[in-house]
Amino acid sequence: MKSLFRAYLDASLILRVTIALVLGLVAGLLGGETLAAWVAPLGELLLRLLKFLIVPIVLFTLIVGINQAELGRLGRMGGKVFVYYVATSALAIVVGLAVASLLSPGSGMTLDDSASVAVPENPGIVSVLLSIVPSNIVAALAEPNLLGIIFTAFVFGIALLKLRQRGAAFKDAALKDAAQADGAAHSDSKPQFDEQARSDEKTQGELAEKLYGVIEGLNAVTMKVMAGVLQFVPIGVFAIVTGTVAKQGLGTILSLGSMVLVLYLALAVHLLLYCVLMKSFGVRLGAFFREARTPMATAFATQSSSGTLPLTLNAAQRLGLPRSLYAFSLPLGATVNMDGAAIRIAISAVFAANVAGIPLDLTSMLEIVLIGTLTSIGTAGVPGAGIVMIATVFAQVGLPIETVALLTSIDALVGMGCTALNVTGDLTGSAIIARSEARSSDAAGAQEPAA
């Protein structure tokens, strides 16, 4: 038994997760819901462990990351992250519409008039933007509200950085004064209030350095805890996949198989576009997917971008990306960047149009691109977000809302692939922006005159 456990620990994580996915598929088909009920607590435990790490890993990693960069560079990277997320979301919808229009999922199916579905309320973009600023920090940490946690970490991280910079400036000034004093004797002519201000800066700088050391230590402890959680990931993935396959069954998969196949084909096309983008920026694809495959597989099984966030952050660290970048881009991406969901919106719209016999013209497709891009951001993090997004777009472009009931039957199957692409898109953006920042630094260095 001990040797078996040692072999389990020595095997690579992605190998263990892959085996867990295959075994979960077989167990779900053969064991059915009885076996799924037995192993369900293991899947729930994995989700709880991952959620348990979200708050400390986002809070501490982001504060430490901010304090390792300049404020001007942070603003530039933030702008690039925003442009990337909006652009790739719009591109994802275009890809989904193109693939679905070519293959026409839902053609030949008829709409069941008795079908109905309860759609959660769409909070809208304004509500999402307001949720960035939490009215209660403790509540934001307890929910957890990722946007609120990011805002909190940014505010306190920048304040800590400013205090540390003032402390460093005081040290430089003190050294300069000491050098001047060594060169020539001079009377103390500095006003008293200036001396007091310098004393305050020294005290605040020292306190800030101590606080930063504590936060850096807490971040290291969090990473150590995550290393232990990683050992349980394959077991939890097996349980979750077993339950998902047992509940869906072959009947559901086969009845709407064309819709599922078209969606996964579109996801593959968009993944190929990621590869083209990374290659054009000089990102090494082999190294990228070697580290990205574990969070991708975990996201596929758990259907949770936020839940997979600890693994995504770990992958970014192993890729050698700047902490000041990925500590911000990945938590934000897990909340608002939903390329997989955007593709799902587009294909669902074409599917609904084919089922209802309503052709989509160019104007309708442009509406879907615009509304779908905004909706994929405005409903992020909401329970049942996929259904909310689809229903919102359908209502805006005049597609029958009843078709949403058909799509809910394959919600888990399509959600797995979409979530995996969401996580991949977040990591891709971070890798591309990191390379872009490196090129900017190299160009700036080359322009500096030789000493």
Q: Compute CA distances 443 → 103, 439, 440, whole Å.
A: 46, 6, 5
337 touches 81 (CB < 8 A): no
| pLDDT at position 123 | 53
Average pLDDT for 289-293: 92
Give dist(CA 196, CA 110) in Å, integer.
80
- In sign, the C-alpha dihedral spanning 214, 217, 218, 219 is positive
The rounded distance, in Å, linking the Cα atoms of 440 and 331 is 24
CA distance 92 to 266: 9
Q: How confident is the model at residue 175 (pLDDT cuts 50, 70, 90)?
A: low
Residue 395, burial from CB neighbour count under 10 angstroms (0-12, 13-18, 19+): middle
pLDDT for 201 equals 67
Higher pLDDT, 72 or 320: 320
Q: Which tokens in the block code for residue 369?
A: 């691109």
List C-alpha distances in Å: 392 to 111, 170, 358, 378, 396. 19, 55, 18, 11, 6
Is pLDDT at 264 greater than 90 in this prediction?
yes
- At 275 the pLDDT is 96
pLDDT band, residue 115 (cuts 50/70/90): very low
Comparison of pLDDT for 359 and 270, the residue scoring more? 270
Note the pLDDT of residue 215.
Answer: 92
pLDDT of residue 117: 47
CA 328 to chain CA centroid, Å, is 10
The CA-based angle 37-39-41, given to 5 degrees, is 90
Residue 283 pLDDT: 93
pLDDT over 80 at 227, yes or no: yes
Q: Which residue has the tokens 């970490």?
A: 153
Residue 238 burial by CB count (10 A; 0-12/13-18/19+): exposed, middle or buried?
buried
C-beta separation of 306 from 146 below 8 A: yes
* pLDDT value for 35: 87
DSSP output for 38-107: HHHHHHHHHHHHHHHHHHHHHHHHHHHHHTTS-HHHHHHHHHHHHHHHHHHHHHHHHHHHHHHHHH-TTT
| Closest among 434, 445, 311 to 65, alpha carbons compared | 434
pLDDT bin (cut points 50, 70, 90) of residue 377 is: low
- Domains in the chain, start-ordered, CATH in brackets? 10-41+77-140+229-439 (1.10.3860.10)
- Are 59 and 258 in contact by the 8 Å Cβ rule? The answer is no
Contact (Cβ atoms closer than 8 angstroms) between residue 332 and residue 430: no
Tell me how far apart the alpha carbons of residues 118 and 280 are, in angstroms, rounded to a whole number: 44
Cα distance between residue 218 and residue 234, in whole Å? 26
For the cut 70, the answer to whether the pLDDT of residue 236 exceeds it is yes
What is the total residue count of the chain?
A: 451
Distance CA(432)–CA(435), nearest Å, equals 5
> What is the spatial distance between Cα 254 and Cα 437, in angstroms, rounded to a whole number?
47
Q: Which two tokens stand for residue 294?
A: 């574990």
pLDDT band at 125 (very low <50, low <70, confident <90, very high): low
**Structure confidence at residue 397 (pLDDT):** 73
Model confidence pLDDT, tens digit, residues 191-209 = 444 565 566 667 777 888 8
Q: What is the mean pLDDT of residues 58-82?
A: 83
Q: Specify the residue for token string 């472009």.
A: 397
Q: How far apart are CA 423 and CA 416, in angstroms?
A: 11
Query: By the 8 A CB rule, do 306 and 337 touch?
Result: no
Q: What is the pLDDT of residue 318?
A: 92
Which of the pair, 14 or 254, is modelled with greater confidence? Answer: 14
Note the pLDDT tens digit of each residue in 144-168.
Answer: 777 788 889 889 988 998 888 877 7
For residue 170, give both structure tokens.
């005081």
